Amino acid sequence: MVADFDDLPPLPEAQIAVCALGTTRAKAGSDAAFRAVDRDAVLAFARAAQKAGVTHFILVSSVGANPNSSLLYPRTKGEVEVALAAMGFARLDILQPGLLIGPSGYRRAERRPVERFLQWAAPVMDLAVPRDLGSLPAETVAHAIVALTKHSKPGVFRHTNRAIAAFA
């Protein structure tokens, strides 16, 4: 079932919610469709989570997220981070990984030649870029999310590759 983010049913009561929702501009088909997923749907889910009593929200965003960027992807990610921080969750963890690497699984049917090349080239490229800008196994991000569910100190926390790897 595909969720209608404009009209989400009430979510079950919970203390923690995790959002790793996202797409690509190419997959979405337009800038507006991309923003409808990566911004609007993420924020709709966050509002629904807050109504369900969530006090700890965990978001998988991206390295380079910046609401003032001239580029669509980092600007959208940055706008979401700012909006979530303003929502007043007791704890907000924002993971900002670099390129996620790992088995493509559900993406096998999709043609993503640039992403496929970057994953192949990541070990060499990682030697030339700062650690927080390099690649990170998706499994490491998943382990960090689980670890972060055990943290309760209030505030807004941004975690780049180094911190994500340390949590994992």
User: Which residue out of 51, 73, 106, 150 is catalytically annotated?
Assistant: 73
Looking at the chain, how many residues does it have?
A: 168
The answer to whether residue 106 is catalytic is no
User: Which residue out of 27, 51, 77, 153 is catalytically annotated?
Assistant: 77
Give the pair of three-digit tokens for residue 146. 């689980």
Q: Report phi then psi at 4, rounded to 5.
A: -95, 100
Give the pair of three-digit tokens for residue 101. 């690497």
The answer to whether residue 150 is catalytic is no
Contacts 24+ apart (CB under 8 A), 41-45: 41/3, 41/5, 42/80, 42/84, 43/80, 43/83, 43/84, 44/5, 44/6, 44/8, 45/5, 45/8, 45/17, 45/19, 45/21
Known catalytic residues are 73, 77
